[in-house]
Amino acid sequence: MPASDPSASSPRLWSRKHILGLQDLSANELTMILDRAAEFKRFFSDGCTKLDHLKGVTVGNLFFEPSTRTKTSFGLAAKRLSAEIVDFTASSSSLTKGETFIDTARNIEAMGVTQMVVRHATSGVPHQLARHLNAGVINAGDGTHEHPTQGLLDIFTIRAHRGSLSGLTVALVGDILHSRVARSNIWGLKKLGAKVIVCGPATLIPVHIERLGVEVSHSLDDIVERTDVINLLRIQAERQRSAFFPSIYEYAHFFGMNGNRVRRARKNVLILAPGPINRGVELTSEVADGDQSVILDQVTNGLFVRMSCLSLMHEAATRPPTVNTVRSEEVIV
Ligand code: CP
């Protein structure tokens, strides 16, 4: 193991078998994941191309919904840690013959998969699998509930550019109602000391969301000058069963980020978007490709965040029972 190997330098112990949402994690646990990801990033920037943390491990990539970034990123993260990876795509599987997703996952587990990365259109599916499998489960996005590794990579990217989350004002703009990314961002950002504003048409903001400790705004123009970070969330058309706004044109006019709004924003404002982006809707190409955009940094950082999650979970699963595992509330930072 190289001297600067991230797992060798961390004095803290991870105790969780599954990573299902940022609502469950303490600030200390979030920081552990971010710190390990930062170490991986440094390590790979220094020329490392592969580590052996997951040698002999097989990771299942179970995607019951389409994905470009998350699926590729988890696959690459597993490979960089020397794991085998099994890719599963629902549309070409025996699910089409009537098999349940639990039977499907149990059959894949029976082939020796010990970590399952799961995306599903229904909220709670990763939690159900965590109850039915021996494997560790990572939620790669469940319905409108959570997308924890996206929240983590968004937070990682902000921290990398600003040093700390504490005291920052982060705006989440768009389809908050259907966005699992919004929920993971809210839990994670609040725990790490950021102020969160959710902004969108009233029809796309959940009622009582202020109970999560966020400010609600229905005008991007009102908040654009007082935010450090603007995260532009996609209109989740696939989860919308009725019209939530009159037209895409009107949405873009009132809630889309364009060059004029960026010029009114703080000079060092960070523009994030989880992707996939709809150019001309949530943001214009001028903004997506502009100097304030860190959208591709997010994608790069996602790889290290996912390596961090996979390696920490594996350490918890394989730690000898004689070692006293520190409970999450007791982890010392
Ligand atoms: N951000 C995100 O989850 O992208 P994919 O749907 O492409 O994985």
pLDDT in tens, 175-227: 999 999 999 999 999 999 999 999 999 999 999 999 999 999 999 999 999 99
80-89 mean pLDDT: 95
pLDDT in tens, 241-255: 666 777 888 999 999
Instruction: Provide the token pair at 175.
Output: 């389809």
Q: Considering the entire predicted model, what is its pTM? A: 0.91
The closest of 202, 206, 199 to 221, measured between CA atoms, is: 199
97-102 mean pLDDT: 90
Q: What is the pLDDT of residue 9?
A: 54
Total structural domains within the chain: 2
Q: How far is the CA of 181 from the centre of ligand 1 (A)?
A: 10
> Are residues 156 and 139 both part of a single domain?
no
38-67 mean pLDDT: 96
> Are residues 152 and 293 both part of a single domain?
yes
CA distances from 39 to 154, 155, 299, 307 (A): 17, 15, 17, 11
> Are residues 161 and 276 both part of a single domain?
yes
Q: How far is the CA of 317 from the centre of ligand 1 (A)?
A: 27
Residue 28 belongs to domain with CATH number: 3.40.50.1370
Q: Please state, in angstroms and rounded to a whole number, the distance separating the CA atoms of residues 189 and 257.
A: 21
> Are residues 236 and 102 both part of a single domain?
no
Residues with CB under 6 A from ligand 1: 67-70, 141, 147, 150, 274-276
> Are residues 130 and 173 both part of a single domain?
no
> Are residues 140 and 40 both part of a single domain?
yes
Q: What is the pLDDT of residue 330?
A: 46
pLDDT in tens, 272-323: 999 999 999 999 999 999 999 999 999 999 999 999 999 999 999 999 876 5
> Are residues 160 and 277 both part of a single domain?
yes
> Are residues 308 and 211 both part of a single domain?
no
Q: What is the pLDDT of residue 333?
A: 34
The closest of 231, 225, 216 to 295, measured between CA atoms, is: 231
Q: How far is the CA of 276 from the centre of ligand 1 (A)?
A: 6
Angle (CA) 254 256 261, round 5°: 90
157-165 mean pLDDT: 98
- Percentage above 70 pLDDT, the chain: 91
